[in-house]
Every structure is written in C-alpha cells, then in structure tokens.
Amino acid sequence: MYFKQITTPGLGCFSYVIGCPAVGEAVVVDPRRDIAPYLEIARDEGLRLTRVIETHLHADHVSGAQELRAATGAVIHIHPAANPAYAFKPLTAGQVILVGAARLDVLFTPGHTPNSVSLVVSDLARSPEAALVLTGDVLFVGDIGRPDLPGAEILDEQVENLYHSLYTVLGRLPADLEVYPAHGQGSLCGRGMSAKGVSTLGYERRANAMLGFADFASFKAAVLARFPARPKSFSHIIETNRRGAPLLDRCPVARELSPERFEAAMAGPDSVVIDTRDAAAFGGTHIPGSLNIGFEKQLANWVGMSVAPESKILLVAENRERAAAMRLELLRIGYDDILGHLAGGMTAWTQSGRPVASLAQLSVHDLAAALAGDAPPALLDVRTEAEWETGHIAQAVHQSFADILDRGLDLCFSGPVAVVCGSGYRSNIIGSALAAKGCSDVRSVAGGMTAWTRAGLPVATL
C-alpha cells in the first residue's frame, strides 16, 4: 500500500494519498485547492488518481476536489448530509472502498460537522487488520474538532454526536491504531492541537484531555467552555465547498499594477489593500488605509478574520515572488477576487509622489516610560481572553482581536493609543485598521507581550 501525508503550511491542513502500486490506482483524501503535489505523486509513483474522498465539508480551506476531477476524471465521494450541489458518490456507514490492496472502511462520525466521516485503512498486502484511521476533524492529535461551526441552532445535537463519535464509534477501535487527522497545529478547527501529524488511539485516550471524561455532562461543559475565534471566511468557504469551488484557471489572472492603476483600483467598491510586508517596513511607510497582514505561519487565519471574503483585493509586497505566494495563500481560502499587486512595491508608490502614512512602532521600554509619565497613552490589549488571563500590563484595557474585527471597537480613544498583542503581529493589523478609520495617533507595541516579559517589566494577573 502507498500512503503519504501532505501538509499545507500556514493552514495546518493534512491531506492524504492512499493507493496500491500493484494496480496503479490511488485516492486523495481532503485535498487542498492547489493540486500539484497530488499530480506529482501520481506521476512519480505510476498511480492513477481515481477517487477523491472528503471526510466532511471543510470550513477553513477550499477543497481541491473539483480541480482533481477536472485534471484526472476522479469521482468525488462525500457524505450526502453535506448536501453538495455537484455530482458525487455518497459515503455511508459500513461502506468499503477497495483500491487494490488498500481497504477503506467508512465510519459515520458526526460532531465537528453533521456530515463527518472517518476512514479505517487496512493494508491487505500485509494483514487484514486495520493499520490506521483517518479521523478528519473529529479527532486531532491532542484535541478534538469544534462542534460550533454549523450553527448555534444545532450545537447541542452536535456536541452529543461528537461525544458518541469519539467515545463510542472510535472507542470501539483498537488502541494501537494510528491516528491521522485532517488538521494539526495552526488550524482554527480546534483549540490545542499538537504539532505532530500522527498519534495512536491508545496514546490519545491517555493523553488527550478531551477523551478522558467520565460522563457526557463533564464532556459537554468542557467543549462549550470556550471556542476559538471564527473567521469571517468560514461561512464563505463552507458554501464554496458545498457548491463546488470554481477552477483556478477561471480566477482573475495576477496583474502587476502601476501606481496609477493601483490607485484607480483602490477607488472601486469593496476594494481592500493588504500590505504583506513586516511590521517595521509597514510602520515606516505604507499606503494610507491599507491593512498590514504580514507573512507568518497562520497568515490565512488572520486574513480570514480581518478581510471580508467578497472583497476585491490589492496586494503590496516586497517583490513579485512574495506577491505570488500571497495570492496562493488567498486562493486556498477562497479569496479569489485579487485585482493585482503594486508593481515596484512601496518604492514605486513613494517615488510617484503619492501620499504615504506611517504606523509608529513603540518599544516596550518606551511604552513603560510613557505609561509612567504625566500623559500616558491609552493601552489596548487585543490578545485572546486566555492570553490576557495569563498576564497583562496593569494599565491595559482588553478587547480581543477577533471581537474587534467582528463587532468593532467598544472603546473610545480621545488621544494617543498603543496597541499590544503577543508578538506585534495582531497589534499591527488592529493598529492599521484603527488608522484607516481615522485614529490620528496610533502606535503598535513592537514585540508585544513577549518583549515586555522578556525585558523584565511588571505583569499583572487576574
């Protein structure tokens, strides 16, 4: 049996190719939108990609199922409860899919979504016993799938389904079975996932706190205690996957725009300028009104929380290669309406004589001095509730990043304001958003609370 896990950096997504070299056939499970890795595997291993299996309707990334069908003629399998608007073959509990020596047994494991399945995989060339289980988003390494994404109206039912799927359906499987989930660290489909891509059921039963509850009531209380932020993009991605994502060759062609054309595009409805440079570069000079979302591990999540999916996006990047990389990140999460990027970057913009803005980067030492002065700035902490509770600056007021982007700022600032987060990344996003809305004296705390604590400055706790 051929088996390979494929990681999508930034999104924390795992997809899989399972096949049989003897018959020259393979299936792809939970593919990402850019399908080159699967086609390369098929070419290098001499395999035909005949099926695509979706373990559920994904919320955090656009599926590559339609791309694979167009490229290879593969049949798409998904549970009918997903209500797909495209041609598919249904997955049902107890169904067996044979790919030569690879046997896939379908388990119905709702809870993360009402349409989730898991796949028990056996390598019949070695043994009739199961070798591993693909758990989709129901069970992760170190965590479980969140049940809230399909909506509050079915949340109680989802929690009950999740408990049954984890404790009964997967609970019947042997402890030595390897666990391969659809996500790892960096995904917002769970709360505390491990960086590891594989575990065993036995180890998860011992070490995964969400599998150790004595009764359903305790499990439910823990599940409902706190959910990760829900990006704006999730509903859009779910619907895109339900309809069937448009093929990438139908998306707008990437364009290099002169400062004149870039400025004209900015004036259009729903246009958003995303500046992908680092905090220092953006702070020094940027296009007024632009949003700073720099490259980092969870870039796609921050875009999903900060930018409406229907936006018409304009990019500012250091170079052509970085702009292309950003475009790929956006396409993976369904932000298809990318008008182009600024040719020549900020150098071209400033040399054209157009207006520029800056976002002051405030060191933690200067912040401490300012807070101790006669006219201290307002200090806004935009970290999560959990981060805030572990320690914060005594003078700070708290409103989380996700909450600000979802409901707007609940606070009113009449003078200077400093924004702090964990590392300076989120504070630059919020700082740039506040500046775009007209706040005249906004500063981002460079290095965030990480720099503050490492400098030995005082931290308050609840």
pLDDT-derived band at 408, boundaries 50, 70, 90: confident
The fold of 360-454 is Oxidized Rhodanese; domain 1 (3.40.250)
What's the confidence (pLDDT) of residue 407? 76
Q: Which CATH superfamily is domain 2-233 in?
A: Ribonuclease Z/Hydroxyacylglutathione hydrolase-like (3.60.15.10)
Q: Is the pLDDT of residue 171 over 90?
A: yes
d(CA 68, CA 41) in angstroms, rounded, equals 13
* Cα–Cα distance measured from residue 459 to residue 420, given in angstroms and rounded to the nearest whole number: 13
Phi, psi of 355 (to 5 degrees): -65, 150
pLDDT the model gives residue 437: 79
Work out the pLDDT band at 85, boundaries 50, 70, 90.
very high
* pLDDT at residue 415 in the model: 80
User: How far, in Å, CA of 312 to CA of 1, rounded?
Assistant: 45
Encode pLDDT of 110-148 as tens digits. Answer: 999 999 999 999 999 999 999 999 999 999 999 999 999
Per residue in 298-347, pLDDT (tens digit) is 788 889 888 999 999 999 999 999 999 999 999 999 999 999 999 999 99
152, pLDDT greater than 90 = no
- Report yes or no: 103 and 96 within 8 Å, Cβ to Cβ: yes
Which range among 17-26, 219-228, 248-257, 320-329 shows the weakest confidence by mean pLDDT? 248-257
Q: What pLDDT score was predicted for residue 191?
A: 66
In this prediction, residue 355 carries a pLDDT of 96
Domain ranges of the chain: 2-233, 251-351, 360-454
In this prediction, residue 196 has a pLDDT band, given cuts at 50, 70 and 90, of confident
In the predicted structure, residue 83 carries a pLDDT above the cut 90: yes
Ramachandran sector of residue 24 (left: φ over 0; alpha: ψ -120 to 50; beta: rest): left
Backbone torsions φ then ψ of 353, nearest 5 degrees: 85, 10
SS3 content of the chain, % helix, strand, coil (to 5): 35, 25, 45
Give the pLDDT band (50/70/90) at residue 433. confident
pTM: 0.89
What pLDDT does residue 357 have? 92
Query: What is the per-residue pLDDT for 297?
Result: 67
Burial readout 78-111 (b: 16 or more C-beta within 10 A, e: otherwise):
bbebbebeeebeebeeebebebbbbbbbbbbbbb
Region 83-95: what's the mean pLDDT?
97
Distance of CA 232 to CAs 30, 155, 407, 452, Å?
Answer: 22, 19, 12, 31
pLDDT of the residue at 358: 92
The whole-number average pLDDT for the span 431-452 is 89
* pLDDT at residue 389, rounded to an integer: 92
How far is Cα 18 from Cα 31, in angstroms, rounded to an integer? 12
pLDDT value at residue 327: 93
Residue 420 tokens read as: 């702090």
pLDDT (average), residues 409-422: 82
**Could you tell me the maximum CA-CA distance found in the chain, to the nearest angstrom?**
78
Mean pLDDT of all residues belonging to the chain: 92
Equal CATH topology for 251-351 and 360-454:
yes
**164 compared with 404, residue with greater pLDDT:** 164
> Is residue 43's pLDDT more than 90?
yes
* Of the candidate ranges 115-129, 184-198, 231-245, 447-461, the one whose mean pLDDT is the lowest: 184-198
CATH topology of domain 251-351: Oxidized Rhodanese; domain 1 (3.40.250)
pLDDT(10) > 90 = no
- Whether the predicted pLDDT of 108 surpasses 80: yes
In this prediction, residue 163 carries a pLDDT of: 97
Per-residue pLDDT reduced to its tens digit, 260-311 = 999 999 999 999 999 999 988 999 999 999 999 988 767 888 898 889 999 9
Sign of CA pseudo-dihedral 129, 213, 155, 11: negative
Q: Give the per-residue pLDDT at 411.
A: 67
State the Cα–Cα distance between residues 138 and 152, nearest whole angstrom.
18
The H or E element that residue 66 is part of is: helix 65-72
| DSSP letter string, 204-250 | HHHH-GGG--SSHHHHHHHHHS------THHHHHHHHHHH-PPPGGG
Residue 11's pLDDT band (cuts 50, 70, 90): confident
3-state secondary structure of 440: coil
